């Protein structure tokens, strides 16, 4: 009868690997099949068969990690049908039996070494193991070798040892009676503590864990090492680990009945760690308990630290507002601190200034912040100076202090770099970026955002990281890259949620609103309005925002009613970081609903800030230059000239940013605000159709009508008479010959190249000076600058032809002046016979001479035909 014999053997087992004769015989008589470790796919297949369903990826990876893919161990774990939620603790009985059998075959000395190693963990240092097992290092080697030969230990780096698999170590640990485990842990903790005292490197977390497990007699030492482990975790930004070790230290102190002062210290550290880990509710509970214990212990410094922790720690990267409990605690700490504790008092005073936002006047908050800065500088504490300057920037938020904030923010950045405190540096960069955006320094803001990203990525904490995609989305929205803005918004929302950041939630909503409004996504805006109305927000700006949302959705009557109700409160709005966006929203609201009594007041208060940019929140969106809302308000007030001036300035400012989409949006808005054109000046063959207001008539074609067409098509623009002649195809005796020379009647260029360059440079200066004069309401200066500008334009117009060629002096220009003046005047007389009102208007508005211009006092819009 035929038989198949199947045998298994573990590679490295002495009875198998040491017998060359057996190896040779098996090779002759049979076939040896090496069986390597199982991969994830193999383990998943086995587990699926056992469970009857596809297993989670995490369960497969846990089994692979604990068994290193060993086929025997994998099969035993799978066969035990483990609880997938508790795979880290599963040790099948069959594996325990295997380990017990191997332990039984060891010498007493080796069993002692394996027991000590099982307490130390899967991986262990040989020098620690030798002291724990109380063996000379030379004798330890023989025991480690025996454990390795039996398959309990595996290969390791020099100076280290390790069990072959986690599961083998766990089985060996479980085999120890509880009292032996405690003694081994106490011994291991004592050895590691001794290493630390002798200056040798250890992991505080390992020492703390062993000492906690060693029993009540070791709790004091365990707490000390737990605090060291937590501090180390904080430095490594491992906030969850820090929470774990501070929590164990707190439990340990509670067990030994220590006093309020020590418990206050631990609760402070625990609360700050929980805050960093995103558990704000439990952090608050810990910090309030710390404050109470500090109060009972008579420690105002610990009370102050609790107050600071309650509102986001010493740096204060994100501080909660309208928190009465926080404010009371800060005031109590400020009153209790001794006079000589300048740095801590400065931190508390600075934080109080920020906490009182929306509750006290800006002046009161500025006084507190100034006091804090002075106290911090006297104390010579860079950290306190940085925090106090940040509070001062917050108190100075708003359009009146952009340059101050930028200067203070730069000092904060410098202090953060000096302190090597990335959180302080990031706070300064965030403040500086907003100030740059407000003055339209977009290139500098882009560089600041890049520098911020570099530092934030080194911290890897979502509290700092969510600003990076927020600003990327802001830039994408400005440039009309809406898909990129959506992607950035999703990333910001995810990081903000991980950081439990209220600021992130608000600014994501703000940027999303601006995106939806730009896209005209009315359905989503309707949903946003419903969500907005469900939030109880105090103050003026939420009411204006609601009104603008209503207007954007077409609910004009409701929007007007909202503005009617809120307008009396506008003068009371503090001129803080929200003021400029608030006023811009008022302007946009009026731009949709039409004329409103609030327009004139809003225009007046906005005008001094015409050269700034409207920034929503901490850079969530840049609505554009202030000239844009000023233009909307001017239209509502019926001041067409001011509206045109503001819209033109807004386009120039937006163009300087390099954001073509913003330029287009402003141009489109300006075009929408233009009144419909009822005035027509159109050529139809040999006749011209002219309509002004309600009068329409036709005149036979003439050169004078063609001249008027050019002037009406370019209101306010001076056009040389010679150019009008040339545009009609008339020849001049002063045209250059083929060799480029001019006739003897030509006296050379009207202006040489140097003069023309100087004239152009002065025109640019005059444009900026005129904008400044208009913004400050200096009518006399504005008139004087306009006269100088007209004179320069006159000279340049005479100096250049339509094609940009420098014009020559001589009789042709004089002949053109005479001809054009005569025929335009004749044409206006002809028009006056058909329409006296239009004739009178043109007589007042058209100036002739060497250069001609149509410049009506009140802008009149014409639909002008193209030349035929």
What number is the average pLDDT over the span 96-115?
Answer: 85
Q: Which range is least confidently modeled, 12-16, 511-515, 710-714?
A: 12-16
N-term to C-term CA, the chain? 113
Is the pLDDT at 91 greater than 50, yes or no? yes
* pLDDT tens by residue, 541-597: 889 999 999 999 889 899 999 999 999 999 999 888 899 999 999 999 999 988 899
**Inter-axis angle of helices 260-277 and 219-235, to 10 degrees?**
30
Looking at the predicted structure, is the pLDDT value of residue 496 above 50? yes
pLDDT: which is higher, 94 or 152: 152
Return the pLDDT at 641. Answer: 82
Closest C-alpha among 596, 587, 593 to residue 624: 587
Q: How far apart are CA 433 and CA 446, in angstroms?
A: 8
> What is the average pLDDT score of the chain?
83
Q: What is the mean pLDDT of residues 138-159?
A: 88
Give the phi and the psi of residue 308 in degrees, each rounded to 5: -70, -40
Do 337 and 299 form a contact (C-beta atoms < 8 A)? no
Task: Please list the residues that pair with 622 across neighbouring strands.
Answer: 615
Q: Which pLDDT score, from 0 to 100, does residue 734 have?
A: 40
Q: What pLDDT is stored for residue 745 in this prediction?
A: 41
Decide if pLDDT at 868 tops 90.
no
The answer to whether the beta carbons of residues 307 and 329 sit under 8 Å apart is yes
Greater confidence (237 vs 524) lies with 524
Taking alpha carbons only, the member of 295, 336, 329, 337 closest to residue 309 is 329
- What is the CA 87 to chain-centroid distance, rounded? 40
Neighbours of 494 (CB within 10 A): 15
The pLDDT, as a whole number, for residue 739 is 32
What's the per-residue H, E or C state across 718-762?
CEEHHHHHHHCCCCCCCCCCCCCCCCCCCCCECCCHHHHHHHHHH
Going from the C-alpha of 268 to that of each of 112, 260, 306, 359, 865, the distances in angstroms are 43, 12, 6, 27, 78
The reported pLDDT for the residue numbered 244 is: 94
**CB 544, CB 589: distance < 8 Å:** yes
Distance CA 801, CA 792 (A): 15
Closest CA to 341 of 386, 290, 299: 299
d(C-alpha 801, C-alpha 37), whole Å: 87
Is the confidence at residue 437, as pLDDT, over 90? yes
| CATH class of residue range 676-734+810-868 | mainly alpha
Long-range contacts of range 103-112, CB-CB < 8 Å, 24 or more positions apart? 103/152, 103/172, 103/175, 105/150, 106/146, 106/147, 106/150, 107/143, 107/146, 109/135, 109/139, 109/142, 109/143, 110/142, 110/143, 110/146, 110/147, 112/143
- Is there a contact between 606 and 400 (Cβ–Cβ < 8 Å)? no
Average pLDDT over residues 614-634: 93
Nearest Cα residue to 497 out of 506, 487, 510: 506
The pLDDT > 70 percentage for the chain reads 81
Per residue in 449-488, pLDDT (tens digit) is 999 999 999 988 888 999 999 999 999 999 889 999 999 9
Contact (CB, 8 A) for 798 and 720: yes
Q: What would the two tokens of residue 366 be? A: 């500025």
Q: Could you write out the three-class secondary structure of 2-44?
A: CCCCCCCCCCCCHHHHCCHHHHHHHHHHCCCCCCCCCCHHHHH
Q: Taking the model in full, what pTM does it have?
A: 0.67
**pLDDT score of 228:** 93
CA-based torsion, 825, 827, 830, 831: positive or negative: negative
Cβ(270)–Cβ(286) below 8 Å: yes
28-42, 233-247, 370-384, 598-612: range with lowest mean pLDDT:
28-42
| Whether 321 contacts 365, CB under 8 Å | no
Lowest mean pLDDT among 117-131, 305-319, 666-680: 666-680
Radius of gyration for the chain, computed over Cα atoms and rounded to the nearest angstrom: 41
pLDDT at 385: 96
Q: Is the pLDDT of residue 42 over 80?
A: no
CATH 1.25.40 fits 456-673, yes or no: yes
Q: What is the mean pLDDT of residues 174-181?
A: 90
CB-neighbour burial class of residue 84 (10 A; exposed 0-12, middle 13-18, buried 19+): middle
Residue 343 φ/ψ, nearest 5 degrees: -65, -45
Dihedral sign, Cα of residue 277, residue 282, residue 283, residue 284:
positive
How confident is the model at residue 286, as a pLDDT? 93
Q: What is the pLDDT of residues 685-721, one digit of tens each?
A: 888 889 887 788 889 999 999 999 999 888 888 888 8
pLDDT (0 to 100) of residue 580: 95
324-336 helix and 342-355 helix, angle to the nearest 10 degrees: 160
Neighbouring-strand partners of residue 862? 679
- Comparing C-alpha atoms, which of 351, 439, 356, 430 is closest to residue 391? 351
Tokens of 815: 């002949």
* Structural tokens at position 673: 């605000």
Using 50, 70 and 90 to split pLDDT, how confident is the model at 516? very high
Could you tell me the two tokens for 592? 């949709």
Residue with the larger pLDDT of the pair 543 and 863: 543
So what's the pLDDT on residue 746? 45
DSSP string, 96-116: HHHHHHHHHTS-HHHHHHHHH
Residue 388 above 90 pLDDT? yes
Helix (H, G, I), strand (E, B) or coil at 683: strand
If one counts every other C-beta atom within 10 angstroms of the C-beta of residue 664, the result is: 13
pLDDT tens for each residue of 254-286: 888 788 999 999 999 999 899 888 888 898 999
- Structure-block tokens of residue 841: 């208007």
Torsion of CA 574, 578, 579, 583, to 10 degrees: -140
Q: How confident is the model at residue 4 (pLDDT cuts 50, 70, 90)?
A: confident
Residue-by-residue DSSP string for 349-408: HHHHHHHTTTTS-HHHHHHHHHHHHHHHHHHT-HHHHHHHHHHHHHHT-STT-HHHHHHH
* Closest to 232 (Cα-Cα) out of 192, 255, 202, 212: 202
Domains in the chain: boundaries: 40-90, 456-673, 676-734+810-868
Q: What whole-number distance in Å separates Cα of residue 653 and Cα of residue 852?
A: 30
* pLDDT value for 772: 66
The pLDDT tens digits for 597-611 are: 999 999 999 999 999
3-class state of residue 270 by DSSP: helix
Residue 387 near residue 316 (C-beta atoms within 8 A)? yes
Average pLDDT over residues 611-622: 94
The reply to whether 676-734+810-868 shares the fold of 456-673 is no
User: Could you tell me if 633 and 584 are in contact, meaning their C-beta atoms sit under 8 angstroms apart?
Assistant: no
Say yes or no to pLDDT of 790 above 80. no
pLDDT score, position 353: 93
- Looking up tokens 């105002």, which residue turns up? 300
User: Residue 493 has what pLDDT?
Assistant: 95
What pairs with residue 770 in β-bridges? none
């Amino acid at each position: 009868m035929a038989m198949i014999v199947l045998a298994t053997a573990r590679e490295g087992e002495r009875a198998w690997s040491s017998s060359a004769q057996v190896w040779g015989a098996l090779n002759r008589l049979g076939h040896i099949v090496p069986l390597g470790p199982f991969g994830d796919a193999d383990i998943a297949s086995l587990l699926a068969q056992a469970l009857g369903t596809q297993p989670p990826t995490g369960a497969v990876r846990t089994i692979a990690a604990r068994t290193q893919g060993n086929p025997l161990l994998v099969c035993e774990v799978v066969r035990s049908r483990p609880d997938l939620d508790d795979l880290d603790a599963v040790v099948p009985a069959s594996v325990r039996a295997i380990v017990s059998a191997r332990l039984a075959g060891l010498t007493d000395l080796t069993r002692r070494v394996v027991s000590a190693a099982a307490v130390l963990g899967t991986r262990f240092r040989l020098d620690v193991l030798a002291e724990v097992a109380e063996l000379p290092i030379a004798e330890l080697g023989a025991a480690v070798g025996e454990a390795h030969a039996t398959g309990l230990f595996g290969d390791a780096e020099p100076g280290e040892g390790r069990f072959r698999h986690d599961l083998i170590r766990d089985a060996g640990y479980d085999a120890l009676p509880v009292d032996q485990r405690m003694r081994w842990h106490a011994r291991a903790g004592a050895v590691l503590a001794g290493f630390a005292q002798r200056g040798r490197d250890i992991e505080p977390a390992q020492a703390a864990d062993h000492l906690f497990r060693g029993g009540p007699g070791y709790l004091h030492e365990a707490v000390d090492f737990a605090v060291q482990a937590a501090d180390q975790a904080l430095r490594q930004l491992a906030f969850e680990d820090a929470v774990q070790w501070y929590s164990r230290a707190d439990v340990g102190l509670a067990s030994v009945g220590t006093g309020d002062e020590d418990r206050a210290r631990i609760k402070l550290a625990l609360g700050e760690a929980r805050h960093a880990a995103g558990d704000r509710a439990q952090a608050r509970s810990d910090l309030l308990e710390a404050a109470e214990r500090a109060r009972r212990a008579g420690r105002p410094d610990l009370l102050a630290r609790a107050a600071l922790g309650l509102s986001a720690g010493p740096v204060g990267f994100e501080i909660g507002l309208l928190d009465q409990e926080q404010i009371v605690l800060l005031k109590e700490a400020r009153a209790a601190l001794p006079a000589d504790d300048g740095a801590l008092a400065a931190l508390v005073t600075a934080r109080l200034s920020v906490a009182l936002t929306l509750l006290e006047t800006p002046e009161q908050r500025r006084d507190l912040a100034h006091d804090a800065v002075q106290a911090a500088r006297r104390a010579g504490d860079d950290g306190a100076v940085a925090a106090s300057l940040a509070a001062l920037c917050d108190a100075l938020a708003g359009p009146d202090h952009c340059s101050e904030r930028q200067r203070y923010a730069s000092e904060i950045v410098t202090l953060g770099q000096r302190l090597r405190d990335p959180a302080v540096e990031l706070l300064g960069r965030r403040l500086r970026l907003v100030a740059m955006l407000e003055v339209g320094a977009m290139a500098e803001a882009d560089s600041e955002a890049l520098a911020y990203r570099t530092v934030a990525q080194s911290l890897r904490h979502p509290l700092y990281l969510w600003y990076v995609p927020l600003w990327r989305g802001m830039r994408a929205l400005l440039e009309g890259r809406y898909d990129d803005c959506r992607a950035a918004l999703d990333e910001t929302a995810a990081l903000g949620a991980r950081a439990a950041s209220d600021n992130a939630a608000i600014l994501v909503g703000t940027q999303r609103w601006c995106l939806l409004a730009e896209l005209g996504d009315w359905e989503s805006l309707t949903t946003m309005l419903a969500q907005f109305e469900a939030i109880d927000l105090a103050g003026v700006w939420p009411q204006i925002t609601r009104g603008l949302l209503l207007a954007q959705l077409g609910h004009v009557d409701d929007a007007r009613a909202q503005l009617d109700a809120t307008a009396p409160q506008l003068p009371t709005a503090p001129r803080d970081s929200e003021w400029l966006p608030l006023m811009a929203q008022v302007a946009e609201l009026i731009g949709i609903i039409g004329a409103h009594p609030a327009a004139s007041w809003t225009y007046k208060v906005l005008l001094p800030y015409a050269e700034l940019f409207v920034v929503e929140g901490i850079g969530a969106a840049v609505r554009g230059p202030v000239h844009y809302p000023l233009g909307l308000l001017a239209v509502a007030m019926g001041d067409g000239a001011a509206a045109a001036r503001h819209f033109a300035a807004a386009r120039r400012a937006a163009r300087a940013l390099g954001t073509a989409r913003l330029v287009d949006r402003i141009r489109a808005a300006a075009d929408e605000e233009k009144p419909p054109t009822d005035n027509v000046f159109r050529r139809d063959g040999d006749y011209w159709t002219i309509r002004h207001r309600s009068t329409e008539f036709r005149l036979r074609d003439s050169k004078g009508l063609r001249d008027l067409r050019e002037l009406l098509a370019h209101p306010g623009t001076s056009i040389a008479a010679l150019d009008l002649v040339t545009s009609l195809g008339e020849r001049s005796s002063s045209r250059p010959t083929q060799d480029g020379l001019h006739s003897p009647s030509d006296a050379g260029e009207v202006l040489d190249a140097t003069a023309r360059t100087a004239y152009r440079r002065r025109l640019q200066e005059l444009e900026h000076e005129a904008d400044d004069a208009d913004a400050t309401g200096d009518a006399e200066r504005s008139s004087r600058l306009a006269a100088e500008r007209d004179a320069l334009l006159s000279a340049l117009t005479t100096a250049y032809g339509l094609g940009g060629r420098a014009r020559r002096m001589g009789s042709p220009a004089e002949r053109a002046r005479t001809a054009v003046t005569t025929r335009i005047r004749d044409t206006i007389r002809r028009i006056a016979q058909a329409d006296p009102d239009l004739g009178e208007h043109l007589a007042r508005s058209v100036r002739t001479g060497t250069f001609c211009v149509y410049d009506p006092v009140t802008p009149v819009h014409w639909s002008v035909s193209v030349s035929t």
